[in-house]
A = this chain, B = another copy of it.
Amino acid sequence: MKIVIVGGVAGGASAATRARRLDERAEIVLLERGPDVSFANCGLPYYLGGEIVDRDKLLVAKPSLLRDRFKIDVRVRASVESINRASKTIMIRYLDDNRTETETYDKLVLSTGAAPIVPPIPGVDLPGVFTLRDLRDVDRIHARLNSGIKRVLILGAGYIGLELVENMVRRGYDTTVVDLADQILAPFDKEMTTPIVEALAHHQVGLRLGRSAKRIEERGGGLVATLDDGEEIAADLVLVGIGVRPESDLAKAAGLAVGARGGVQVDDRMRTSDSDIYAVGDVVEARAFVTRGARQIPLAGPANRQGRIAADHILGRDSKYRGSQGTAIVRVFDVVAAQTGEIEKTLRTSGLKYEKIYVHPNQHAGYYPGAKAMTIKLLFRGDDGSILGAQIVGADGVDKRIDVIATAIQARMTVFDLEEVELAYSPQFGSAKDAINMAGFVAAGVARGDYPQTQVEDLAAALGENGVILDVRTIDEHRRGAIESAIHIPIDSLRNHLNELPRDRPIVVYCHAGQRGYVATRLLRQEGFNAINLAGGFRTYRMIRPESAFNEER
């Protein structure tokens, strides 16, 4: 068995080492166009920012290790130019001497990755304008950063863009970030990004949303980017991180089936339309775990798993890829945001029916120092309680909760199961009713129809012509900021003031985080009022309408 792997990072390296562990006799050739295999792409921004000091640390497995430990025929600076499926051969060009060579394969694995998208604007090829994909890019950017520059412009406010922002600010550069969308972090629903937008402002990062660069020019020794609204932003370095596209040209040229967004189509064994050719990692069109829809998911975890599965299947094992949840996490300054499964934006366009809840629990016991609230948005089916997706934003403990929900989605658990999961509690790490249980309680209550809730965006509809808004928080909380026109009756005296509330009109109840609102809603409904809880309370309201709370509340 001769296995040839094209691309030596993440999925490719995983496929190679897995194949060797399964079969000591297989001939395994690993071809990488760049000079490095198996490097830590996700570490590149932190090396630029100086948090990772030792460049060598980014080389997870060097060619020598793959050769010595795994007997893999590693060839770097080896570019595969074409595939001849009929003869089961490929044509390799060695970039050092431009020599070409034909190599045979029994099974071919394509792990060619995804390339940064470069916007087609004038000046994008100027010195000082960079994309970030590999260590060569990093070395060039590093050199520029160390040449005494002051101002950095980042195009794209996605995962990599924001990680670059944090790292540029850490090194003291004046930093501006521009994104075409009306929000940062497109893989999240907009309201969940509000805490990061606030953190960017807090760190004096310039943020331009709904804008794009139209051209970049050299002027006075530096660069000037002109945005579509005419604003000019001066910078000494421009980093482009507006997204990636699958590097599927090789596959396309060979006539392999490719999806609408350019990803190579594969079955659940990672086989392409040619059963002797597999594809793994960022180059493939993945299947979304929850909806089974096609999706480009350029993440290292899925790439590694896919590589392993391709090797398994090549060597006679019946492993199957289950699909990608898109579980991902990013830290921007002191804010951590994470998600798994579907987000509301995609559910809305998919036509799938869903419910959503917000909770704002602490990461650990409130009585222990350092307790801080996070926000969990949970998307689920109202009929059977299936979990469709979750997004969490906060600080400590966000990673834990997203991983628990990611596991729950993998197990096809429901919101009723989240009520019951038994997680570890001691004051430093959780609560007797963990954040996950709280999300489960609220979602299960909605799914069971225990009480109606309205979303902030549906508030006007819920109020109708004559509805009232009832704030059940304390006097102090109410003073610090409230929804306009709200009646205020603190929950602990609500039973004594029932006669002040209308019995014939909708009452939308809210508190800070939704919990007291829920208690009040239950109370009022049992007393015959048409009460509706505002999902996630005032804290969610502020995330959705950061500009509209009439007082500042922090």
Taking A303-B432, A368-B51 as contacts, is the C-beta distance between A327 and B492 under 8 angstroms? no
- B406 near A423: Cβ-Cβ < 8 Å: yes
Q: Taking the nearest CB of chain B, how far is it from the CB of A79, in angstroms?
A: 25
Q: How large is the interface on A (under 10, 10 to 19, 20 to 34, 35 or more residues)?
A: 35 or more
Question: Would you list which residues of chain A between 144 and 178 have a CB under 8 Å from chain B?
Answer: 163
Taking A367-B57, A407-B408, A495-B71 as contacts, is the C-beta distance between A301 and B422 under 8 angstroms? yes
Give A510-535 as 1s and 0s: 1 = Cβ < 8 Å from B's Cβ atoms: 00000010110011001100000000
Taking A68-B492, A304-B433, A434-B301 as contacts, is the C-beta distance between A410 and B421 under 8 angstroms? yes
- Report B-chain residues with C-beta under 8 Å of the C-beta of A95: none
What residue in chain B is nearest A516 (Cβ atoms)?
B69
- Report B-chain residues with C-beta under 8 Å of the C-beta of A266: none
- Report B-chain residues with C-beta under 8 Å of the C-beta of A410: 413, 417, 420-422
Within 8 Å by CB of A422, from B24, B70, B325, B330, lies B325
- A424 near B411: Cβ-Cβ < 8 Å: no
Known: A327-B424, A404-B404, A411-B411. 16 other contacts (CB 8 A): A21-B519, A25-B526, A65-B492, A71-B495, A327-B423, A327-B425, A329-B425, A329-B430, A330-B426, A340-B422, A399-B429, A399-B430, A400-B400, A407-B408, A408-B411, A410-B417
Offer 25 A-B interface pairs, CB within 8 angstroms, sorted by A: A10-B432, A23-B526, A24-B522, A40-B367, A40-B427, A43-B365, A52-B367, A52-B369, A58-B367, A68-B492, A301-B425, A301-B433, A325-B422, A328-B424, A328-B425, A330-B426, A336-B429, A340-B422, A340-B424, A399-B424, A403-B404, A403-B436, A407-B407, A407-B413, A410-B421
Identify the A interface with B (CB < 8 A).
Answer: 10, 21-25, 40, 42-43, 46, 51-52, 57-58, 60, 65, 68-71, 163, 289, 299-305, 322, 324-325, 327-331, 336, 338, 340, 365-369, 399-400, 402-404, 406-408, 410-411, 413, 417, 420-430, 432-434, 436-437, 491-493, 495, 516, 518-519, 522-523, 526-527
